[in-house]
Structure 1
Amino acid sequence: MAREAEPSRILIFGGTGYIGKHIARASVAFGHPTCIYARPAGPRTKPLNLNLRREFRSTGIRIIEGELDEHEKIVTALKQVDIVISALAYPQVPDQLKIIDAIVAAGNIKRFVPSDFGCEEDKITPLPPFEEFLEKKRKIRRATEAAGIPFTFVATNCLAAYFINVLLHPHNPHDEIVVYGDGEANAVLNYEEDVGKYTIKVANDPRACNRVVSYRPKPSIISQHQLISLWEEKTGRSFKRVYVPEEDLVKLSQTLPPPENIPVSILHSIFVKGDLMSYEIDDDDLEVSTMYPEMQLTTIDQLLNIFLTDPPEPARAAFG
């Protein structure tokens, strides 16, 4: 009888961050020996972060404290694992070049998933501030390919709890909700816990090696108007829809100083242009829900039920 393959050993950069913690939890839940490479804790480390580190240690996650410029420390950590997942936040995206250099030096990594938790940047052209944002991610993709590192690039689209807060402000007592554009463009809202689970699955899946995987399950596709109507049904309230025309967002993207011009450009791309649904998933790419039809998703309807009682902790942390 053939022996079952040993579970992959996984190292996560940014594992205590907004999406990284969901990836780390999923990694442990799926039985993978898991490490997190994180900045050393200090006096300025937030209590939420310290609590998370305690939680992770209690579940068997090893936390390696270090900086991204400590090349030898990273190489040593990489030699003890099989798969590397980066969930570094946007300001640290260029620093992934240091991770790529370390992966090349280590020479043993079977898969690298860079921090790409958003839109499919190779297939859209948004307003200039968002375009500049995406170009930094594209450089990491191209550097990964040039280095010959086995990769999986993920296009996870919108993180649902985060964007539900942005769009609905669900605990705002006022009966007004802002609508960007005409509110008809479809977006893709995937719950953060599901993104974490899917990411661990694709990082270990031979089908996803050197491929782009889009997270575009049909139940996660929704327009602003549909989302607001569903929230009205849940709450029994009626909201006044206050429209922000496309030209206003374009003007703001041109007049606001950076980085304030980036969020309005993202809103324009997703909720006015409908960039997340503007392209077909071609034969060279994969769609995650068709790869794992057995996995039960948290639907938008179910997520709104959670918001009725208490917002998910990550969303509360992001918006105060």
Structure 2
Amino acid sequence: MVEASIPKKILLFGATGVIGKDIVDALVEAQSSFEKIGIFTSPGTAKSKADFIEKLKNSGVEVVVGDVNSAADVSKAYEGYDTVISVLGRNVLLAQVPLLSLAATSPTIHTFYPSEYGTDIEYNAASAAEKPHQMKLAVRKHIRENIDTAKLHITYLVTGPYSDLYIGKMHHDAAVEAGSFDVLGKKAVLLGTGQERASFTTMRDVGVLLVAALKTSTAEKERLLKVNSFTTTPNAILAEFERQTGGKWEARYTSLDKLKELEKQAWEGQSPISAVYTLRRIWTEGGTLYEGRDNGKIGEPGLETLEEQVRKQIQIQGGTLNG
């Protein structure tokens, strides 16, 4: 099997989104490893996020402005790059289908990373029926049925849930029962029995792991990397908060059965946070755990710890660190 070329010219879609910013930060920090880094963004975003765009330009990032739905704009943008990184958000994931098709016919693009960051959408047989997974599954189906992966190599970077969000305070009142850590109130809502293990990746580390994957040569046509920062439990997270803030917190639990009931009600009521309940139920059921993670396949990059994440969250919420 012919080994894929190492990515050197990276074009990012979705760089101004929630996780996109962490990924582009990691790419900029590692830019000496690449020949060129660029982002593709819309005219509207270029205007509404002008300060961020200017900051990227000053960091040496090329900014390509165009319409993601225009084959001409996308094809033109591809000419200067060999690798596409998609970080498109959940609601626009299907926009990757034409991006993939154009990449497959591009004379320069040889590698594509679909937007896979988050929960494993093919963890087990039940994954195929999970509502939040459907668009990502449709993208994988398109790849397997329509893309020649001997020419366009694919890497899925599956990170599991972002710990930054999981260990934060749930600001949507209706979603507090889906788990929350309130630093100032010293109150927590824990999921399940509190003993269920889940693997998390910090948002910073998503970028670190992506860069490590880009720098690792592979002969796999369709590479699936299941990576994470650390594995822990709700009780262990609470214990770390108590240690760092000093003193006992008030804690209550949302059982798995109760979480399923809330999930059902949310979908029936067409709640905008329905996916939150489903994903947190999946994590509580163990849907992020594997016999081994794939960090070693990409060089075991240095990652953040639970202790560091809790410290950050305390600072974000304006709390006081013990000692």
Q: TM-score range by the shorter chain?
A: 0.7 to 0.9
CA contact (8 A) 2:127 2:133 kept: no
Q: What displacement does 1:64 show?
A: 1.4
Partner in structure 1 of residue 181 of structure 2: 169
Moved more, 181-190 or 101-110: 101-110
Partner in structure 2 of residue 305 of structure 1: 311
**1:28 aligned partner, one-letter code:** V
Partner in structure 1 of residue 176 of structure 2: none
CA contact (8 A) 1:177 1:239 kept: yes
**2:249 aligned partner, one-letter code:** F
Q: 1: distance between equivalents of 2:46 and 2:100?
A: 30
**1:227 aligned partner, one-letter code:** I
CA contact (8 A) 1:152 1:203 kept: no
Q: 2: distance between equivalents of 1:153 and 1:197?
A: 15
Relative distance call for 1:44 and 1:53 in structure 2 (3 A) is: closer
Q: 2: distance between equivalents of 1:208 and 1:287?
A: 16
Partner in structure 2 of residue 36 of structure 1: 39
TM-score (norm 2): 0.83
Q: What displacement does 1:170 show?
A: 4.3
Tell me, yes or no, if structure 1 residue 178 matches structure 2 residue 163: no
Tell me, yes or no, if structure 1 residue 71 matches structure 2 residue 71: yes
Tell me, yes or no, if structure 1 residue 187 matches structure 2 residue 186: no
**2:224 aligned partner, one-letter code:** V
The match for 2:245 among 211, 235, 239 is: 235
The match for 1:211 among 217, 223, 227 is: 223
Q: What displacement does 1:51 show?
A: 2.6
Moved more, 201-210 or 177-186: 201-210
| 1:101-112 to 2 correspondences below 5 Å | 101-112=101-112
Q: 2: distance between equivalents of 1:44 and 1:237?
A: 47
**Over aligned residues, Cα RMSD in angstroms?**
2.5
Tell me, yes or no, if structure 1 residue 137 matches structure 2 residue 136: yes
**1:309 aligned partner, one-letter code:** Q
TM-score (norm 1): 0.84
Partner in structure 2 of residue 201 of structure 1: 212
Q: What displacement does 1:6 show?
A: 8.8
Listed as ranges, the gaps of 5+ residues in structure 2 are 171-178, 319-323
CA contact (8 A) 1:170 1:307 kept: no
**1:230 aligned partner, one-letter code:** E
Partner in structure 1 of residue 298 of structure 2: 291
Partner in structure 2 of residue 89 of structure 1: 89
Relative distance call for 1:303 and 1:254 in structure 2 (3 A) is: closer
Over residues 248-303 of structure 1, what are the superposed CA-to-partner deviations in whole Å (9 max), with x where a residue is unaligned?
Answer: 221222222334321111111112x12111x435xxxx70245313x321111122
CA contact (8 A) 1:110 1:150 kept: yes
Q: 1: distance between equivalents of 2:257 and 2:112?
A: 40
CA contact (8 A) 2:6 2:216 kept: no
CA contact (8 A) 1:202 1:208 kept: no
| 1:258-297 to 2 correspondences below 5 Å | 258=270, 259-271=272-284, 273-277=285-289, 279-281=290-292, 287-289=294-296, 291-293=298-300, 295-297=301-303
Moved over 6 A (4+): none
**1:164 aligned partner, one-letter code:** I
Q: What displacement does 1:208 show?
A: 7.0
Q: 2: distance between equivalents of 1:311 and 1:115?
A: 29
Q: 2: distance between equivalents of 1:44 and 1:82?
A: 27
SS of residue matched to 1:275: coil
Moved more, 222-231 or 257-266: 257-266
Q: 1: distance between equivalents of 2:310 and 2:7?
A: 35
Q: 1: distance between equivalents of 2:305 and 2:112?
A: 29
Listed as ranges, the gaps of 5+ residues in structure 1 are 313-320
Identity %: 19
Q: 1: distance between equivalents of 2:317 and 2:17?
A: 18
Q: 1: distance between equivalents of 2:136 and 2:7?
A: 29
**1:269 aligned partner, one-letter code:** I
Q: What displacement does 1:21 show?
A: 1.4
Q: 1: distance between equivalents of 2:123 and 2:314?
A: 36
Q: What displacement does 1:114 show?
A: 0.3
CA contact (8 A) 2:6 2:214 kept: no
